[in-house]
Copies of this chain bind each other. A is one copy, B any other.
Amino acid sequence: MADSTVQIGILGCAEIARKVSRAILLSQTATLYAVGSRSIEKAQKFAADNGFPATAKVYGSYEEVLDDPNVDAVYVPLPTSLHIKWAVLAAQKKKHLLLEKPIGLNVEEVDVILAACEANGVQFMDGTMWMHHPRTAKMKEFLSDAKQFGELKSVHTCFTFTADQNFLENDIRVKPDLDGLGALGDVGWYCIRGILWAADYELPKSVIALRNPVFNKAGVIISCGASLLWEDGKVGTFHCSFLTNLTMDLTAVGTKGTLHLHDFIIPFEEKKASFISAVESGFKELVTGWEPKPSEHTVTTDIPQEALMVREFCKLVGSIKNEGAKPEKKWPTLSRKTSLVLDAVKASIEKGFEAVEIVS
């Protein structure tokens, strides 16, 4: 029997689904209603280990989750190559969709998924958690402040981590038939989103990949980078990799201000997160130091960013379900733009580092 909260079903028992299960509990706006796995034993263990209530439904297939009429929405953390099948089916079954990134193997797949969501009136959102941290809103205020930050001219992002041998050989993110986008899809997604976020989601005119991508034996990207260019001269650059120490930087430089942080995707701590801003920085007499110096700002949050993501998703689902609202287009739009740029980076690599025009 449905209550006022959103009843969520999870497809598969991915590691990230453990974090999102906790987020669903913490959100207090959704219920861990069902989980489905190709192995019912795995689903049972997952439900028992991740705080599902005793009444939760445990299924031995993904289909059964989608066929359960009490499931309002699904969270889909399956390998990227399976997204198109299961996301489209979920939409057709009128399930609102919280889909892990990357959304599809290319923007054509993304468009099929988004079209299915639109045709079926369901909310779409991808799993880019940092978008929902209150720090992100606070930083956006700064970037939007013409007096403090001025006009954005350059933004640099970086997300890398050192994968161990087991990951590099066996993780789904290095398998061409599972997550064929490799590091570009996994960590590069965030770098691209960070740049677009700083640029108010204005798409760049063109993208040029850095000439040093690294591929594994199966041809999957495990390290790469690119520059993104806008008509007005703005530039974004990023680097993403499975081969270097965990690093996640975002630096945005405007005509008047600068924004710095080193943990933009996963804050160092769960309940507070900081950023550094500088406004009209200058030097002391004789250039012996800075005046003013950059300053640090800390933003606290009662619940983690992934629980805020679930809350936002459930708020939109609730509006559709209870008030007949239309799905919010912001979230699918951001996913599509991120995919478009990601495709252009991949195309630039494939074309020998040519500039690739972005055609939306």
Contact = CB atoms under 8 A, between A and B. Distances in A.
A2 interface: no
B255 A162 contact: yes
Nearest to A304: B288
A164 B82 CA distance: 54
Q: Is the interface of A mostly helix, strand, loop or mixed?
A: strand
Interface stretch (A57-65, A277-285, A338-346): A277-285
Interface residues of A, number: 65
A146 interface: no
A319 interface: no
A225 B233 CA distance: 12
A241 B211 contact: no
Contact of A158 (B214, B245, B251, B355): B251
B276 A246 contact: no
Interface stretch (A103-111, A169-177, A261-269): A261-269
Interface in A97-125: none
Interface string A177-214: 00000000000000000000000000000101011101
A129 to B, nearest CB: 9
A258 B214 CA distance: 20
Given A267-B289, A289-B266, A289-B267, A282 B225 contact: no
